[in-house]
Amino acid sequence: MAAPLVGVGVFLFRPSHAPYRFCLGMRKGSHGAGTYALPGGHLEHGESFEQCAAREVKEETGLDVHDVRFFTATNSVFKDTGKHYVTIFMTAITNLEEDGSEPEAQLMEPDKCEGWKWQTFGELRKMERADSSLFQPLVDLMEQRPDVCRTLEKR
């Protein structure tokens, strides 16, 4: 059995426009295909959680971020593949453009993601109840960390 891996998922918020919405995209071409996940990826050797969060957000959405913070962590054994991941969930805020406008998320890796949209945590819960369409670490987050999830609803 392979050792557990570390994944970082980022709740990416915009500073002014509907700040309680975060970026979500449908996965494509790897495990969890067809489910919605946060931007994120594997923690690389020697990297801090903050560096990994900022790097993955930039690689996947083209957005620069500030106020990158630890949010919570979960433990997931994937039901389909048996892969074991510890997920570090982070929060981050997108930087504004020089003219003060909100930048849009770009689809930087169209082979890995169908596209980005901005969702509320309440919508996430409804999606999961309706059609089980969330990437497993997000489902595990709701089950393992109900208290911290509630703080996302209040933003």
- The footprint of ligand 8DG (CB under 6 A) covers 7, 9, 30-31, 37-38, 40-42, 56, 76, 85, 87, 112, 135, 137
Nearer to Mg ion among residue 41 and residue 137 (C-beta)? 41
Contact between 41 and Mg ion per CB under 5 A: yes
Minimal CA–CA distance to 1: which of 78, 56, 57, 69?
A: 78
Which of Mg ion, ligand 8DG, none does 25 bind, CB closer than 5 to 8 A by kind?
Answer: none
* Shortest Å, Cβ 56 to ligand 8DG: 6
Are 87 and 52 spatial neighbours (Cβ–Cβ below 8 Å)? no
Nearer to ligand 8DG among residue 56 and residue 105 (C-beta)? 56
Distance of CA 137 to the CA centre of its chain: 9
Nearer to Mg ion among residue 56 and residue 140 (C-beta)? 56
